[in-house]
Structure 1
Amino acid sequence: MRSQVFLNTLFGLFIIINNHHAAADVSSAVADMDAWIATEKVVLDILQRTLHEERRKLREAKRLKGRLSQLLEEGNERRPRNAFQHMKLWLTLDDVVSVISTDVFTEHYKLLEEERCVQTFPDKQEIDNYGEIFARLQLVYKIHPQDIAEGRIPGTRKTIPFTSEEAFLIGHQQAQSLLFNAAAAWLETALETYIEEPEGEKTGNVLDILNWLQLTIYQDTGNAVRALEYSLQMQEIDPEYWNLKDNIKVYENMINNLTAVQMEAFRNAPNATVSFNTGAVDPLSVSSADEAYRALCRGEERMDPGIRNRLKCHYQTYNNPYLLIQPVKVEQLYDDPQIIMFHSVLLETQASRIRQVGHHHLSRGRVAGGDVRGMVSNYRISKIAFLEESIDPVIAEVNRYIGHITNLDSSIAEDLQVNNYGIGGHYSSHYDFYTNVHDVFNLIAPMTNYEIWGDRLATFLLYMTDVEAGGATVFPRLNLTLFPAAGSAVFWYNKFKDLSPDPRTFHAGCPVLAGNKWISNKWIREKGQDKYRPCALQPDGVANLTNWLERFA
């Protein structure tokens, strides 16, 4: 009975460990990953100590068994030595039994439960999003599941490959999310991996892999011939598999109605391939269907060379005494609208402190406006926190410096927003000013402090880490890609000088492919900024905005 309790408890711990690796909220953030890894080290230590104690208990049990066997083999002779040995056995039996019955594992497991109460661990919804994360990465970065499974991620060193079970779990989740194209490729990868795994080390269930593979292949391509082939492979392994006979009949009937040409086409069809064509619709996000967005995320050069040749770099002081000793380094990224990068504006010590403070306040990103305001966002997959200056002196210090280098009043602004993006974390194309996405000139319902402070005049986006791969900031309407550079910041105005919204600032945060992305946003509001940026009666910049917008209709 006690061994069964031990096994049940051990299985519970196994689930926790696997949930950490297979179910982590990698898309929202990896800010908690250090805590998870620390806890996993505790788990490893618990297992090592438990195994040590269990071996000792086993030795004691074997010793007691040997003594009892020896005594009983000697029979019931009433001899002084025999009587003494029986007496000695019963005098020490309680101590021996107490050692054997001590549930060391449960005692250690309580420590782990206490750790779980103070740390943030993933929930089922975050686990269910895992398949969509990989589908998005496949689509945006044109990566085949086979490459991901084998640890070949562009721009990164090769990592430990996926097991057949792990590849199956991803494909299975994608199929349940009706992402059949992505799922078919992952399931075929799972089958190939299963075949290559040595006997005795196979991790997946080949029947489950084949079953979901026949389903997704048919749903994705309508290829009844290939679906039947997988079903017949299942029949060879287990003829009584659930619903298998019915599936075979259905596929055979479909094949009987095919023409010879259709049969040949299905037979010669390649294995599942992820659709990367420009006309493919991404079911995960409306904006991600834009090939310009995806190409920019991949770092493809799309900007007009004539525009790039006009861009310059310079030092700026605004005649501000604070900047005279150390002028800020300014790089022009786009000239109309003006988008600039400030280099080396944040020390690593400051970035580290902001990350540390922000980590304790992070929560899943929510929608800022519209009919679903306040709901957890699916087009913004990250964890965010707004940090008031009173939380830590470094927040006030950074806010003041933002005012100096932008030459705006940073006190008329929202609190510093910290964002952490994990693997697959992204922010679909959006505007920073408060508008209805379908009509860039009509403001939606009043937002917090909108009437007091006005709209978001400007955006200051501060990169607090480098990103190993992916995670760029892109402006699809300007063909501009900005890869994160720790300590640098990007700045642009969201409004023309007449305070009408500038739709050219439509931008997005690309999915993180590898690494950890931390950024901070400072949204500077309109009120009182006219003395720093004088207003105008007409939009500055583009001569005919209507004609320009027609290109993106």
Structure 2
Amino acid sequence: MGLIRVIFMITTTMMMLGTRTVSSDMFSASADLANTFRLEQKVVNVLGELVAQTEAKLSIIRQYLEDYQSVVEEKATSEEEFIERVAGNPIHAYRLMKRLYFDWQTVEKEIKTDNWRNALRQLEHVRMGAKFPKEEDFFGAAQALVRLQDTYELNMTQLARGNLWGRQTRAELTAQDCLFMGKHAFNAGAYARAVEWFEESYILAGLENNKTLRQDQVMEFIQHAINMHDDTLQQTKQRQPMAVLSHTNSFQLPLRERPAVVQRSEIIRSRKYNVGKHISDQDDASNFNALCRGEKLLDDILLAELKCWYDNRHQPYLLLMPIKIEQHSIEPAIYTFHDVLSDEEIETIKELAKPLLARSLVQGKIGTGHEISSVRTSKTAWLPEGLHPLLNRLTRRIALITGLKTDPIRDEAELLQLNDVERGGSTAFPRAGVAVKPTKKGAAFWFNLKRSGKPDPLTLHGACPVLLGHKWVSNKWIRETAQTFNRRCLLDANQ
């Protein structure tokens, strides 16, 4: 069954978001992260109160010790002389009685009060019913950060210091953090990337005066990663002399021979991208990352043919407020319809979807049904047409804009769905060589099928991973079989 896709960009509010995990989905959506941050705030409040109580307790004990110390400071040649002086001084006698009668009651009370046990009970209450991160959440967050650095080719030094693609934040990584990222990249076989993380860890260890780990420890990891990279490179060249290696996982020269910074910059400048339906899987991945970074893959002649215009679709409803259309690609046809939704409608859709959001599934191996993806970490809520009057109005509006039949009750379209997905800024089409940036209130539109009913390989697409922000997306899948008279079939399989 063929489907035509319309994507409504709901909002692009800025906040930090991790991206992916397999068996846990704690940070796969901004709502989950927000709840986790709120949970940590409660924990911090309990710990803060414990610190305050402990410091107050210690202050009382210190005061007792300081009072005693002022007595000890009396000069004397012997212990007998010291005791005689103290015992013969009425002020010392008064302060001695005060310490052991009045002050000691306060000290004893503080010692008997178990603030730790009380804090433990409060923490247990906070954790009751709450979802604390697990090991897979921790490793998933690390995997997400490694992937983001790889996809967007972020400057390692800037990233470690909280600069996310030109936006400076107060979130920074320590030498220990970078070492862990390097280990994660190494275990994934991305040895060149691991070397970069380890080198940054080495630099930070020096700046931190070896606070979180020592530089000599990091150097062992750097050398091991270099050796693994160069050995793997050599083995690959022996098996396939003309092999082209992915720039994300390997440099073209052995790392032992590289001019550290120059080598990578030369690779970036010398890249060439291919577009079209016959490109390889490696080209798909390379193009996808390039489009996510905002690189231009099409030549200026093709880009000059693109245009924007107003269109009323010959519909009376649109005469006074025609649709604003932006063209992203001619072949395949990819558009954005701007200002399709209002702010109020956006909030209504989000509120309807929030209680229904659940981790999205992808098609698994044949015969295994659907499964959780380790790459795509979206959350989905299927909104039936009768859930709210707005949904029916949106269905009619989409029909007017697209000129297609979109009634799910008549099996002309699937339910409107709302995704809380990863956001790096775009939906990338690696074979078409274009990317559609998320625009609030806008709707991206393309046909997954040709007029013949055959799949269009040029519409292969994916959501760029989250870097800084989150994206709410409402999808409308329009069925091909209902468009018999709206979009007539052609017998030519190539069209």
Q: Normalised by the size of structure 1, how large is the TM-score?
A: 0.64
Provide the residue aligned with 2:483 in structure 1.
Answer: 529
Change (3 A) 1:111 1:418: farther
Provide the residue aligned with 2:9 in structure 1.
Answer: none
* 1:377 correspondence with 2:373: yes
From 403, 406, 409, the counterpart of 1:409: 406
Provide the residue aligned with 1:290 in structure 2.
Answer: 285
* 1:388 correspondence with 2:399: no
Provide the residue aligned with 1:191 in structure 2.
Answer: 202
Change (3 A) 1:173 1:40: same
From 476, 482, 486, the counterpart of 2:436: 482
- CA drift of 1:172 comes to 1.8
- CA drift of 1:344 comes to 0.9
Aligned residue runs from structure 1 range 113-512, under 5 A: 113-157=124-168, 159-197=170-208, 199=209, 202-222=211-231, 269-271=258-260, 290-368=285-363, 370-371=365-366, 372-389=368-385, 394-407=390-403, 408-411=405-408, 412=411, 413-421=413-421, 425=422, 470-512=424-466
Contact persistence 1:366–1:373 (CA under 8 A): no
- Decide which moves more: 131-140 or 388-397: 388-397
Contact persistence 2:26–2:133 (CA under 8 A): no
Q: Distance in 2 between matches of 1:112 and 1:279?
A: 55
Change (3 A) 1:357 1:120: farther
Q: Secondary structure at the match of 1:524?
A: strand
- CA drift of 1:491 comes to 0.9
Change (3 A) 1:406 1:544: closer
- CA drift of 1:185 comes to 0.9
Change (3 A) 1:335 1:124: same
Instruction: Give deviations 1:6-53, integer Å, cap 9, x for gaps.
Output: xxxxxxxxxxxxxx99x9979733332322333333333323322221
Q: Distance in 1 between matches of 2:318 and 2:474?
A: 22
Q: Distance in 1 between matches of 2:281 and 2:132?
A: 30
**Match for 1:418: what amino acid?**
L
Contact persistence 1:368–1:374 (CA under 8 A): yes
- CA drift of 1:192 comes to 0.9
Instruction: Give deviations 1:391-421, integer Å, cap 9, x for gaps.
Output: 5555455444333322322423223322223
Aligned residue runs from structure 1 range 54-65, under 5 A: 54-61=54-61
Contact persistence 2:430–2:460 (CA under 8 A): yes
Change (3 A) 1:134 1:522: same
Q: Distance in 1 between matches of 2:66 and 2:294?
A: 71
**Match for 1:514: what amino acid?**
L
Instruction: Please list every run of 5 or more consecutive structure 1 residues that lacks an aligned counterpart in the other structure.
Output: 1-19, 76-81, 224-264, 426-466, 546-553
- CA drift of 1:356 comes to 4.3
Change (3 A) 1:401 1:380: same
Contact persistence 1:58–1:100 (CA under 8 A): no
Contact persistence 1:27–1:133 (CA under 8 A): no
Q: Distance in 1 between matches of 2:103 and 2:389?
A: 64
- CA drift of 1:490 comes to 0.5
Q: Distance in 2 between matches of 1:316 and 1:128?
A: 49
- CA drift of 1:271 comes to 4.3
**Match for 1:204: what amino acid?**
L
Q: Secondary structure at the match of 2:55?
A: helix
Change (3 A) 1:394 1:35: farther
Q: Secondary structure at the match of 2:362?
A: coil
Q: Distance in 2 between matches of 1:150 and 1:68?
A: 48
Q: Number of residue pairs matched?
A: 426
Contact persistence 1:130–1:173 (CA under 8 A): no
Q: Secondary structure at the match of 1:351?
A: helix
Instruction: Give deviations 1:161-186, integer Å, cap 9, x for gaps.
Output: 42212111211222233322211110
Provide the residue aligned with 1:33 in structure 2.
Answer: 33
Q: Distance in 1 between matches of 2:214 and 2:393?
A: 56
**Match for 1:524: what amino acid?**
I
Instruction: Give deviations 1:434-459, integer Å, cap 9, x for gaps.
Output: xxxxxxxxxxxxxxxxxxxxxxxxxx
Q: Secondary structure at the match of 1:471?
A: coil
Q: Normalised by the size of structure 2, how large is the TM-score?
A: 0.71
**Match for 2:400: what amino acid?**
H
Q: Distance in 1 between matches of 2:138 and 2:455?
A: 38
Provide the residue aligned with 1:228 in structure 2.
Answer: none
Instruction: Give deviations 1:473-497, integer Å, cap 9, x for gaps.
Output: 1222222121111111101122233
- Decide which moves more: 382-391 or 166-175: 382-391
Contact persistence 2:151–2:289 (CA under 8 A): yes
Change (3 A) 1:293 1:66: closer
- CA drift of 1:208 comes to 4.1
Contact persistence 2:452–2:494 (CA under 8 A): no
Q: Secondary structure at the match of 2:356?
A: coil
Change (3 A) 1:397 1:108: farther
Change (3 A) 1:487 1:131: same
Q: Distance in 2 between matches of 1:97 and 1:313?
A: 79
**Match for 1:125: what amino acid?**
E
- CA drift of 1:323 comes to 3.3
Q: Secondary structure at the match of 2:167?
A: coil
RMSD over aligned CA atoms reads: 4.4
Percent of aligned positions that are identical: 29
Q: Secondary structure at the match of 2:363?
A: coil
Q: Secondary structure at the match of 1:346?
A: coil
Contact persistence 1:288–1:294 (CA under 8 A): no
Contact persistence 1:191–1:210 (CA under 8 A): yes
Contact persistence 1:165–1:205 (CA under 8 A): no
**Match for 1:56: what amino acid?**
A
Instruction: Please list every run of 5 or more consecutive structure 2 residues that lacks an aligned counterpart in the other structure.
Output: 1-17, 72-82, 87-92, 233-253, 274-279
